[in-house]
Structure 1
């Protein structure tokens, strides 16, 4: 049996370049690289075939790259602690290298198991910072400086892949049926992998990103004008640092040309969102319980009664509000939708349907290819009004439709039942007369549902409930504590 002393563990860092633990592990010839399909992740209701598809694309590319250097990517299926225990027992493993993984409570459990395993077997686990998320912080004082410092570091060079050996009992890529995962049909427009991620970044910086700032809120224009890098960042095909540096290079080039055509404004807006990406994940790193508990606990007594009918109709895009239904159907078909429409979907569920964010977040997680728990749960809490430190913003789906789909192109594309409905009635199809319904072939209550709730009354009711709790002394106290831990350190007033 070959001698292996060092192990690199691929997790959500599925790339070769700018991967410091991979680079450090590659410095010795007695090394091996592994990826583990973890049952507790795959069998979780938040995981889906959309995620697996992107992961497998990434693993295939990495494996192919390793082969070019006569190296091998070892792939296993099983509990990470048991797989690593077998490898440690079979080889003289002294060091394990990986990035510090911040995902969810299940990931924390896995991390704890591996830490215990390493301690009991006298193995050193070297965990490196992933993007701008800092391990062990107690509050956000100085975090912005640490983020900027990380982004200024040099990119990590190409590792010596030829040093990674093949281990015994290594398996190959696992398909949907092998893992018992139901395949969700969707339109696959982006393949996973480092090469695809870098090509997408290049396209955004040189072609499609010019109108990013202007088009980011439009469900029609955003699919082309947004960077579409979120999935590549989620699975680590490309690092935030790499994106920041390439964006800065493009900004310098544009300033040199003294361009005034919208590019600089768009790239400035894009750059700020790279920082916010890490900002939200940092919250979950510091407070893992945000996955299933309100940031401000005085909101715990609201939305306690489940409404499975509302949840089902919302999830199927059948609530009777065209913009909500169109966005839900678009999302489920594409595995992505722009941020404003995500916020509207969650706002409508949380405020107008009064559904608990924990049930709706679980449902949508499997349809977001770019599902990133740190962003996912924090955004759901923000759009549900339970953070205590963010403004209460109840999105009006009718206004969003007027603002971003005035001609009805998006709604009619994704709700074909409404294709013959005149634009004057497209925001309120239920107001059509019976004769007009027959004329258009859209019978309300049959072809397309009546509104599930009264929009105005449900919004007023939600606002009253939320603000009555915000006014409580205990809520104000808890909100201050939440800000001290998680606030972005901009000046805000807590009332």
Structure 2
């Protein structure tokens, strides 16, 4: 039997159930399809493509070490399969399940129709705690925990040789500067994991909210989980091993930090499950009553100022510029970017979401779109949290070092007025010249948004709210742990930071 092993967001050979299954066959063609139409989408970018290419190079080396090779083809997936079918009369297609964006979902439906037409079997295997065709959240945590507890699948000792030619990868995205982007590939992922669990992660719980300290104290594994150079199961089990090592040791921060990290790994699958269960949430409000709350046609001057870090709100602008240059931002700052855009600037999440998706090297559709809606207040089941960017700057960047790094035009503004330069008695030397005046009054915009959002919450259809709870809400006990009892169907209100778990880890 000849099998096509279709790599997608699973760019590794270790803990790869699809590879383990395909390796049993007489002939295996490891395939990755670079799809130009995908890379032309508004939520994809050059930084993600560059990371992907580094991951593919690592994967190719790993497969060559097993006696095979990675076949890279460029084009529409169905057309690529047609072409391969003329050369290699394959009998089976094997891949992992993918919780991608609407485009990949539609592509998979086209591929499914094609393989049926050729009487080719397509086997898709799970690679995370996300469950296909889930009816509701009862019992989900038990399934997820059982999955992550299973022994990881070892890479095969060898694969049949594969000598099919590959296509060169053309320039598909507008080239951009992202000098601080993380490098891709499993070797980098393993280095990050080891460094986090043995050194950097000690201050994770305390430092994760700081834009400076978080860049080091966070694991930085999010792009590797998004592209699949590591599996969630590997990370959960390796972390659990480290937890056993520090148990009973000195109160030095390790135990609490590792517990928090495990919690965020569980939340990762939780949020991805939302998109798996309701793919439409990428395009419409999860709670349907919130459609039309904000104008679909954005105020383009506000949107442009926000995208370019020119809102006149220093800490917000510093975070936006840092994100553009590095492809990463910690969880609290990501939440603040969406909150200010959604409430103070009153921009719809469908206007701001694509920009952030492009900026994040670790863009994971299941988490991204679920979080865009949570932070903008359109789920109907999460308490709206309106971040004050001035307070966040004061709290998270108390020395001003982060803000000054990304806003050199504020060099002469004294520390006391760094987050509110308009209050400086010499503001005219800077504002409107080298740095813009604030585009909104923070306090007034927050009051207006709060009135609007809570007025909406009081008038919504509660049957629709119950639908969202039944289908998407976590089942947790009073301590915040996932549970599986049907009696817990109506969850507790999330703690404020429960809503901020962007894919930053």
Normalising by the residue count of structure 2, what TM-score does the alignment of the two structures yield? 0.93
Deviation at 1:132, TM superposition (A): 0.9
Among 250, 263, 287, which residue is 1:272 paired with? Answer: 263
Aligned partner of 2:98 in structure 1 is 101
Q: 1:181 to 1:161 in 2, by over 3 A?
A: farther
Aligned partner of 1:248 in structure 2 is 240
Pair 1:465-2:462 in alignment: no
What CA distance in whole angstroms lies between the structure 2 residues aligned with 1:266 and 1:192? Answer: 25
Deviation at 1:471, TM superposition (A): 0.7
Contact 1:33 / 1:164 at 8 angstroms: preserved in 2?
no
- Tell me, what secondary structure is at the counterpart of 2:41? coil
Aligned partner of 1:68 in structure 2 is 65
Contact 2:39 / 2:172 at 8 angstroms: preserved in 1?
no
Long gaps (5+) in structure 1: none
Between the two proteins, the alignment pairs up a number of residues equal to 479
What CA distance in whole angstroms lies between the structure 2 residues aligned with 1:114 and 1:449? Answer: 50
What CA distance in whole angstroms lies between the structure 2 residues aligned with 1:457 and 1:437? Answer: 21
What CA distance in whole angstroms lies between the structure 2 residues aligned with 1:161 and 1:58? Answer: 21
- Tell me, what secondary structure is at the counterpart of 2:376? coil
Pair 1:483-2:462 in alignment: no
What CA distance in whole angstroms lies between the structure 1 residues aligned with 2:389 and 2:289? Answer: 28
Mapping of 1:149-188 within 5 angstroms? 149-167=146-164, 169-172=165-168, 174=169, 178-188=170-180
What CA distance in whole angstroms lies between the structure 1 residues aligned with 2:203 and 2:137? Answer: 33
Q: 1:285 to 1:274 in 2, by over 3 A?
A: same
Aligned partner of 2:390 in structure 1 is 398
Aligned partner of 2:303 in structure 1 is 311
What CA distance in whole angstroms lies between the structure 2 residues aligned with 1:111 and 1:145? Answer: 28
Among 334, 339, 345, which residue is 2:326 paired with? Answer: 334
Aligned partner of 1:45 in structure 2 is 42
Contact 2:310 / 2:436 at 8 angstroms: preserved in 1?
yes
Aligned partner of 1:375 in structure 2 is 367
Deviation at 1:189, TM superposition (A): 4.9
Mapping of 1:96-495 within 5 angstroms? 96-167=93-164, 169-172=165-168, 174=169, 178-255=170-247, 258-304=249-295, 305-433=297-425, 436-437=426-427, 442-474=429-461, 476-490=462-476, 491-492=490-491
- Tell me, what secondary structure is at the counterpart of 1:345? helix
Q: 1:189 to 1:291 in 2, by over 3 A?
A: closer
What CA distance in whole angstroms lies between the structure 2 residues aligned with 1:478 and 1:451? Answer: 38
Long gaps (5+) in structure 2: 477-489, 494-505
Structure 1 moving runs of 4+ over 6 Å:
none
Deviation at 1:221, TM superposition (A): 0.5
- Tell me, what secondary structure is at the counterpart of 1:46? coil
Deviation at 1:98, TM superposition (A): 0.4
- Tell me, what secondary structure is at the counterpart of 1:332? helix
Contact 1:29 / 1:164 at 8 angstroms: preserved in 2?
no
Q: 1:161 to 1:420 in 2, by over 3 A?
A: farther
What CA distance in whole angstroms lies between the structure 2 residues aligned with 1:58 and 1:216? Answer: 26
Normalising by the residue count of structure 1, what TM-score does the alignment of the two structures yield? 0.94
Contact 1:10 / 1:98 at 8 angstroms: preserved in 2?
yes
Among 85, 88, 94, which residue is 2:85 paired with? Answer: 88
Q: 1:473 to 1:408 in 2, by over 3 A?
A: closer
**What's the CA shift string for 1:87-123, capped at 9, x where partnerless?**
2233221111100011111111111011111111111
Deviation at 1:26, TM superposition (A): 1.2
Deviation at 1:69, TM superposition (A): 3.4
**What's the CA shift string for 1:348-380, capped at 9, x where partnerless?**
000000001001001111110000011111111
Q: CA RMSD in A?
A: 1.4
Contact 1:27 / 1:160 at 8 angstroms: preserved in 2?
no
Deviation at 1:493, TM superposition (A): 6.0
